Amino acid sequence: DVKVTQSSRYLVKRTGEKVFLECVQDMDHENMFWYRQDPGLGLRLIYFSYDVKMKEKGDIPEGYSVSREKKERFSLILESASTNQTSMYLCASIPSGVSSNQPQHFGDGTRLSIL
């Protein structure tokens, strides 16, 4: 069974702080994703990575960066946290080269509050 682990379930930070959200998956998946989920807006893609050291911007990358130094770990970085980045952050993964469609597997999410 795929396990996607996000390092913190709840996090409270202050405006202007640099914030790191960590995600680890144990299934050797090539593709990893960071989303944020806000009420009434569904899930919005921030960044994704299709291989180590590779990254692509999603729909809302502004104010965020990512790091993928190892295949199993994908980090989301808020360079200078702002109150409008208060949200639920979700990490997901999926393998490449699948012969048929497969769903993304999600972690339990990090509820981040910026004060």
Binding site for other proteins (CB under 8 A): 4, 6, 9, 31, 40-45, 48, 50, 58, 90, 92, 94, 96, 101-109, 111
Q: Which is nearer to other proteins, 15 or 102 (CB)?
A: 102
Compute the least distance from the CB of residue 78 to other proteins, in Å: 19
In the complex, least distance from residue 80 CB atom to other proteins, rounded to whole angstroms: 26
Q: What is the spatial distance between Cα 87 and Cα 105, in angstroms, rounded to a whole number?
A: 20
At a CB cut-off of 8 Å and minimum separation 6, what does 19 contact?
11, 13, 77, 78, 81, 112, 114
Q: Please choose, from the candidates 107, 89, 74, the residue with its C-alpha nearest in 3D space to the C-alpha of residue 13.
A: 89
For residue 90, the minimal CB distance to other proteins (Å) is: 5
